[in-house]
Chains A and B, each alone.
Chain A
């Protein structure tokens, strides 16, 4: 154990005072995921096909594009919190820090690509842009 005063030894080892917020946000996004993912699974199952001509106008509809963006925010936020718990439980020291960086970059980058893609499809549908 490193030296110093008793106070110096325990400093930085306590609660970050963010645990309750993390826990609650995990539950709130779990509830919104439940509705959004059930919608998504049913909507995808009900599609008449999965070719480009079917899928693109489907995604371009406001009734699909908006819930899809909400799904991306809710689900990605939820998995960001969940993977953090998994990383904190099984990975330690420097590797943990590196994985947390990677997790944050991953969730931000993938959600940006997803939301941009949805908006691009939705906003170019009515303009007659060649699909």
Chain B
């Protein structure tokens, strides 16, 4: 139940907020140094990059959660995994995966720079 609703929430969030940020980023690169400077200012410099962290962590957590429950959907599409216990276990696994993957992503990102 929660996983199913979260699939819609994360999907809708990425489709709107994520799309606008991705398109802004690409258009800012294409627009040249000055337009990229605005994007960089908003997400990397303003308040030590607080907006970059808020949107970045929100979007990566949404992505990994949507990806994990999407893979769960593929398995459910085959007709498997509907028993209460295995359904519950797979649902919990999507949360564990998305949190761990998000932590790993940001640890790598911040550790590598």
Q: Which residues of A contact B74 (CB under 8 A)?
A: 27, 30-31
| Cα of A121 to Cα of B29 in the assembled complex, Å | 7
Assess whether A127 is interfacial by the CB under 8 Å rule: no
Q: Which residues of B contact A43 (CB under 8 A)?
A: none
Tell me what chain B mostly uses at the interface: helix, strand, loop, or mixed: helix
Q: Are B77 and A114 in contact (CB under 8 A)?
A: no
Q: Are A50 and B40 in contact (CB under 8 A)?
A: yes
Residue of B nearest to A130 (CB): B32
Q: Which residues of A contact B32 (CB under 8 A)?
A: 131
Contacts of A88-119 to chain B: CB distance below 8 A: 106, 110, 113-114, 116-118
Give min CB distance, B40 to chain A, whole Å.
7
* Known A41-B105, A79-B15; contact A86-B8, beta-carbon cutoff 8 A: yes
Q: Are B23 and A113 in contact (CB under 8 A)?
A: yes
Q: Which residues of A contact B44 (CB under 8 A)?
A: 50
Contacts of B17-73 to chain A: CB distance below 8 A: 19-20, 22-23, 26-27, 29-33, 36-37, 40, 44, 60, 63, 67, 70-71, 73
> Which B positions have Cβ atoms within 8 angstroms of A?
8, 11-12, 14-15, 19-20, 22-23, 26-27, 29-33, 36-37, 40, 44, 60, 63, 67, 70-71, 73-74, 77, 105, 108-109, 112-113
